[in-house]
Amino acid sequence: MKKVSDIEEAAQTQLDNRLAKAKPMKLGWSSTETHEITVALNKLLGDYSVHYQKLRNYHWNVKGSDFFDLHEQFELQYTEALENIDAIAERIRVFGKTPLSTMQEFLDNAVIKETGSDLSSDRMVREILSDYTLLLESMSRVVEVAVEMNDAGTEEMVKVFVNSIEKHHWMLSAFMAS
Ligand SMILES: [Fe+2]
């Protein structure tokens, strides 16, 4: 029969005693690397959050002959934005950092600006198209930093967002051309 001490020893195949008793191990990035990744992610989080609220604003307040198309389209997009925003914030937590979390923080850190509610449907679509350009810039920056840091998780996550925003850009541009 095995002794308890043998079992304990067998259980520690990877970690020496010092590591096993230490705090949970961090991911393999230096604090400077973690800082760079999470600053870029937080910038994207701020932009995306302001964009999200604009989509809701326009979903509620769009008027005119395009109402049914745009009301539905804005809802589809804010539903997707909500999921992506959550993934970005949680990715920042993965690195042990704090995501921007209040409305004030979003507004203070975003390049994307809010508008009022009484806009023509054309103006709303143009605003969203302009937001896409700014979002894609923020996303490119995140991908650039992630590649530099060998952060495949962040890179892969944001590339999916890029693909989707580019598709929305095409669709709303085509809508404007009609
Ligand atoms: Fe609704």
Residue type, 29: W
- What residue ranges do the domains of the chain occupy? 35-177
Unique residue bearing structure tokens 């449907």: 121
Q: What single string gives the DSSP state of each residue in 35-50?
A: HHHHHHHHHHHHHHHH
- How far does the centroid of ligand 1 lie from the alpha carbon of residue 161, in Å? 23
Token code pair at residue 53: 């609220």
- How far does the centroid of ligand 1 lie from the alpha carbon of residue 35, in Å? 38
Token code pair at residue 178: 């009609």
Q: Which CATH number fits domain 35-177: 3.55.30.10, 1.10.10.10, 1.10.287.1040, 1.20.1260.10?
A: 1.20.1260.10
b/e 94-132 (16+ beta carbons within 10 angstroms → b): ebeeebbeeeebbbebbebeeeeeebebeebbebbeebb
Q: State pLDDT tens for residues 70-105.
A: 999 999 999 999 999 999 999 999 999 999 999 999
Distance, CA of 44 to CA of 24 (rounded, Å): 28
Distance, CA of 141 to CA of 96 (rounded, Å): 20
- How far does the centroid of ligand 1 lie from the alpha carbon of residue 70, in Å? 11
- How far does the centroid of ligand 1 lie from the alpha carbon of residue 77, in Å? 12
The pLDDT assigned to 98 comes to 97
Q: State pLDDT tens for residues 156-176.
A: 999 999 999 999 999 999 999
The structure's pTM equals 0.87
- How far does the centroid of ligand 1 lie from the alpha carbon of residue 79, in Å? 10
- How far does the centroid of ligand 1 lie from the alpha carbon of residue 59, in Å? 7
Unique residue bearing structure tokens 């996303």: 139
